[in-house]
Amino acid sequence: MLLAIDCGNTNTVFSVWDGERFLCTLRTSTHHGRTADAYFTWFSTLMKHYGIEAEINDVIISSTVPRVVFNLRIFADRFFGCRPLVVGRPDCLLPHDPRVDEGTRPGPDRLANAAGAFDRHGGDVVVVDFGTATNFDVVAADGAYVGGVIAPGVNLSLEALHSGAAALPHVDISQPDKVIGTNTVECIQSGVFWGYIGLITGIIDRIKAEYGRPMKVISTGGLAPLFQQGEDLFDRFEDDLTMHGLTVIHRYNKENGVI
């Protein structure tokens, strides 16, 4: 079985894939100091808790935080006896090579999103991924990742207001009923929520205009549903898109004899 690890700047997600479906999805915060032993203690405890018996013999990692890969490699080697595939490294093949400026290293989560979106929908897709950053990943007709947009994430924007302005409290995101807030919290929520609606709409419209062909818009990431409510921004929401992309990349490497 395959263990797919999606390590973001805020959270790290482990999913076990049996070849047809995900048996479980486990989430922890990202810490570069976490050791291989600590990962295994956490992972095996939760697997036992959910009554899942999985014989893992392959591991694939997408990490937007380079430093955590060291301990995750030891984790894969020590507990599952395998050399993990690390997306973005030269020895991990991609079904379609990205077309970006020379020297650019697209985030592995974006490469996984592109592989997952192409597998499910074919090309001419834009993926909107709501993580620490909000990124828009454009997948061409032939499946290549061809770039996109990186914007500050929702929680990062809220945090920036709180840390940069002495009188502004920490606020959680929610959808305000109206735009004109009548207290500080409502004003912040309005700014970030409606500002974000404008950002998403504006960027998607501009991407479509520049791209010049009809495109599908797929959203992913924990906060995507919040922006879908009552708005017609995305064609689909697919929570497991990055993980699905990792299984696609793993399968491609297996078929091509890399592992």
Ligand X SMILES: CC(C)(CO)[C@@H](O)C(=O)NCCC(=O)O
Ligand Y SMILES: Nc1ncnc2c1ncn2[C@@H]1O[C@H](COP(=O)(O)OP(=O)(O)OP(=O)(O)O)[C@@H](O)[C@H]1O
**Buried b vs exposed e over 25-62: b needs ≥16 C-beta within 10 Å?**
ebebebeeebebeebeeebeeebeeeeeeeebebbbbb
d(CA 119, CA 40): 31
Q: Is 109 in the site for ligand X (CB under 6 A)?
A: yes
82 is in an annotated binding site: no
- Cβ proximity to ligand X: between 2 and 87 the closer is 87
Residue 56 contact among K ion, ligand X, ligand Y, none, beta carbon within 5 to 8 Å by kind: none
Residue nearest to ligand X (CB): 107
Among 95, 107, 131, 176, binds K ion (CB under 5 A): 131
Query: For ligand X, what does the binding mask look like between residues 53 and 72, x meaning CB under 6 A?
Result: -----------x--------
Among 62, 63, 113, 132, binds ligand Y (CB under 6 A): 132
| Least distance in angstroms from the C-beta of 74 to K ion | 23
| Least distance in angstroms from the C-beta of 209 to ligand Y | 27
Q: Is 133 in the site for ligand X (CB under 6 A)?
A: yes
| Least distance in angstroms from the C-beta of 6 to ligand Y | 7
Q: Is 15 in the site for ligand Y (CB under 6 A)?
A: no
Q: Is 172 in the site for ligand Y (CB under 6 A)?
A: yes
35 is in an annotated binding site: no
Q: Is 11 in the site for ligand Y (CB under 6 A)?
A: yes
Q: What amino acid positions are annotated as catalytic residues?
A: 109
Tell me which residue of 125, 173, 179, 168 sits closest to 153, measured CA to CA.
173
Residue 179 contact among ligand Y, K ion, ligand X, none, beta carbon within 5 to 8 Å by kind: none
Residues that bind ligand Y (CB under 6 A): 8-11, 130-132, 172-173, 221-223, 226
- Residue numbering of the annotated binding site for substrate: 107-110, 184
Residues that bind ligand X (CB under 6 A): 8-9, 64, 104, 106-107, 109-110, 131-133, 135, 150
Residues that bind K ion (CB under 5 A): 8, 131
